[in-house]
């Protein structure tokens, strides 16, 4: 299965989004859950990717059908949904993101995704990428059932949330054991598996496990670390 290398974009700047595409990322995650971007400003982020091969994935703040439909109508290639804990919740996401007979997304031929009516789809309607985030002990237990849901593209681990929830629930399962379990569940159903990577040193271990959707840090973290290195260098003069 092909590997997709991406980055999380939290700053909310179309210029940063455009730069990420220029640098050659396979995909970017435009973050409406924790990022600084507002929903109304999202189209300008998507326009910044026009003409590039970089896929636009938008993390919605919650699996609201109207929000999911608008994001896709505006031209996103897919969505990431946080805190998908059960197969029923995964099916709800697919239902909101896909057209009948696979779902209940409303059809409009004049939206940006279809060139405001200038590029109408022919044949079967397009199916979006759907990344279901596994971020709780409950979701780990249900990972195989979530991966089995038709329309889910990949399971995507949220390391911070998963680690926090395991501690909050006093789970006896170690974090690393949960990660391995999630990857196995995805592979068993021929689905991808992804994770946010904060430390480049982790890449070999994650590559060996078989992750196919890799997010290499976020724009905000990269700018922060760059600023810190810069001021440390300047202070040492």
Residues classed as catalytic: 34
- Return the H-helix or E-strand segment holding 55: strand 55-59
Structure token digits, residue 174: 């170690």
Enumerate the β-bridge partners of residue 8.
Answer: 29, 218
C-alpha torsion sign, points 96, 97, 102, 107: positive
- Return the H-helix or E-strand segment holding 184: helix 175-188
Chain-centroid distance of CA 182 in Å reads 16
- Tell me, what DSSP letter sits at residue 106? P
Give, in degrees to the nearest 5, the angle at Cα 179 between 178 and 184.
95
């Amino acid at each position: 299965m092909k590997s997709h290398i991406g980055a999380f974009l939290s700053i909310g700047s179309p210029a940063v989004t455009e730069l990420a595409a220029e640098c050659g990322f396979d995909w970017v995650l435009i973050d409406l859950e924790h990022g600084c971007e507002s929903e109304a400003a999202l189209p300008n982020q998507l326009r910044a990717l026009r003409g590039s091969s970089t896929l636009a994935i938008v993390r919605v703040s919650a699996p609201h059908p109207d929000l999911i439909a608008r994001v896709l109508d505006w031209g996103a290639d897919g969505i990431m949904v946080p805190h998908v804990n059960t197969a029923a919740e995964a099916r709800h996401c697919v239902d909101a993101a896909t057209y009948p007979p696979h779902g209940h997304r409303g059809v409009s031929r004049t939206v940006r995704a279809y060139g405001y009516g200038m590029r109408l789809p022919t044949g079967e309607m397009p199916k979006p990428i759907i990344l279901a985030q596994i971020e709780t002990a409950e979701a780990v237990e249900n990972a195989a059932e979530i991966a089995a849901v038709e329309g889910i593209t990949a399971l995507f681990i949220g390391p911070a949330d998963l680690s926090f929830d395991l501690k909050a629930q006093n789970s006896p399962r170690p974090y690393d054991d949960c990660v391995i379990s999630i990857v196995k569940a995805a592979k068993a159903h021929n689905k991808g598996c992804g994770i946010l990577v904060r430390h480049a040193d982790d890449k070999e271990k994650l590559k060996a496990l078989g992750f196919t959707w890799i997010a290499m840090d976020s724009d905000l973290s990269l700018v922060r670390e760059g600023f810190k290195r810069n001021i440390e260098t300047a202070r040492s003069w």
